[in-house]
Amino acid sequence: TKKIPLKDPSEIFTVNNGLFSHILLLAAAGHGKTTALSKFAYDWANEVKDSPLSKFPYVFLLKLRLAKKDSALGDVIIAQLLKRLTGISPAGIERFIRENQRKCCFLLDGYDEFSGSIVAGNPQTCLSSLGELMLGEEFPECHVVVTTRHNRKGDFEHVKNPTEYAVMEIEGFAEEDVKMYVRKFFHAASQDGEAFIRYIYTQDNLNSLVNIPFFCMALCNMEQTGFLENTGTTSKLFDQLTKYLVHHAKARTNDESTYYSEERIKSMVVAVGKVALQKLIDNRE
């Protein structure tokens, strides 16, 4: 295996002179898989200069977590992108794609959250045209990018007669990336940005998380809104992060009902904690 560092996310489409038509984009939670695909689709839709997808007349961004394991590709496209339009059928969409494969690019987000599987013999095996698209058995000339967390990478390594995927990985922010992000975030108050950078690297609990893009963004927002006070330990930091997320949700919805009561928040956190603990126990076994 040879690792090739890329300077820009758009370069995933030009590795090996762009000869890979199928790309598997790996990253842990919070590293920007969904954000990357959304940015590609946004730039394409707005005809941004130098968009890596500008050569494709048709781009489909689909969330795999919203698709059932036996969903046909045409059904997923209608449900997520077109809704119900007179004269358009799932079979008609697939026929159009089949006739225009080299003009189509599919951005399939979140295979790790997909209820189906592309591995033959798995109880969740997806035998529909959506699974066949990922396998390259159907629409083989389409360009396909699939994102997933590492735990389901093996599905793409052990399928029977798989289409060769170029494997790309988002590893998170280096120290220089963190500094660049913080400076851009606090561009209107550069002194605050520089002070926050110095502060980050004196706090072990912040330093250990800031290389994850989601947490870098969250910490900047928490610092700006005063939620980073009294976060000397990781437990206190996550307590404050939860409070910040609730505050943010309230601000967006103007909802002052009991939906965001302290009791309800605690019950939700406990429920998530039970799932996380059980997953840790399962992995150890």
Q: State residue 53's pLDDT score.
A: 93
- Please determine, for residue 232, whether its predicted confidence score (pLDDT) is greater than 90: no
pLDDT band at 194 (very low <50, low <70, confident <90, very high): very high
Name which of 242, 179, 172, 230 is nearest 205 in CA terms: 230
Q: Closest Cα partner for 114 from 66, 162, 165?
A: 66
111 touches 146 (CB < 8 A):
yes
Q: What percent of the chain lies above the pLDDT cut of 70?
A: 92
Q: What is the pTM of this model?
A: 0.81
For residues 38 and 33, what is the distance between their CA atoms, to the nearest angstrom?
9
Tokens, residue 232: 């000397």
Q: What is the mean pLDDT of the segment spanning 252-277?
A: 79
pLDDT number for residue 56:
94
> Is the pLDDT at 92 greater than 90, yes or no?
yes
Could you report the per-residue pLDDT of 4-40, keeping only the tens digit for each?
788 777 888 877 766 678 999 999 988 989 999 999 9
Task: Please tell me the predicted confidence (pLDDT) of residue 255.
Answer: 63
pLDDT at 86: 78
* Model confidence pLDDT, tens digit, residues 138-180: 899 999 999 999 989 988 886 665 578 888 888 889 899 999 9
147: alpha, beta or left? (left if phi > 0; alpha if psi -120 to 50): beta
Residue 1: which residues within 8 A CB-CB, separation 6 or more? none
The model's confidence at residue 200, banded by pLDDT at 50, 70 and 90, is very high
pLDDT for the residue 223: 93
Query: What is the C-alpha separation between 95 and 73, in angstroms, rounded?
Result: 11
pLDDT band, very low/low/confident/very high, at 45 (cuts 50, 70, 90): very high
Asked whether residue 253 carries a pLDDT value surpassing 80, the answer given is no
Q: Please write the tens of the pLDDT for every residue from 219-230.
A: 999 999 999 988
pLDDT for 285 beyond 60: no
How confident is the prediction for the chain on average, in pLDDT?
Answer: 87
CA distance between the termini of the chain? 30
Q: What is the structure's pLDDT at 117?
A: 87
If one compares 243 and 86, the residue with the highest pLDDT of the two is: 243
pLDDT mean over 57-79: 93
What pLDDT, on a 0 to 100 scale, did the predictor assign at position 284? 66
What is the model's pLDDT at position 26?
93
Q: What is the DSSP string of the chain?
A: ------SSGGGGGTGGGGT-SEEEEE--TTSSHHHHHHHHHHHHHTT-TT-TTTT-SEEEEEEGGGS-TT--HHHHHIIIII-S-TT--HHHHHHHHHHTGGGEEEEEE-GGG-SSBSSTT-TTB--SHHHHHHHTSSSTTSEEEEEE-GGGGGGGTSSSSPPPPEEEE-----HHHHHHHHHHHTTTSHHHHHHHHHHHTT-HHHHTTTTSHHHHHHHHHHHHHTTTTT--SHHHHHHHHHHHHHHHHHHHHT--SGGG-HHHHHHHHHHHHHHHHHHHHHHH-
Q: How confident is the model at residue 258 (pLDDT cuts 50, 70, 90)?
A: low
Predicted confidence (pLDDT) at residue 281 exceeds the cutoff of 70: yes
Report pLDDT for 50.
Answer: 86
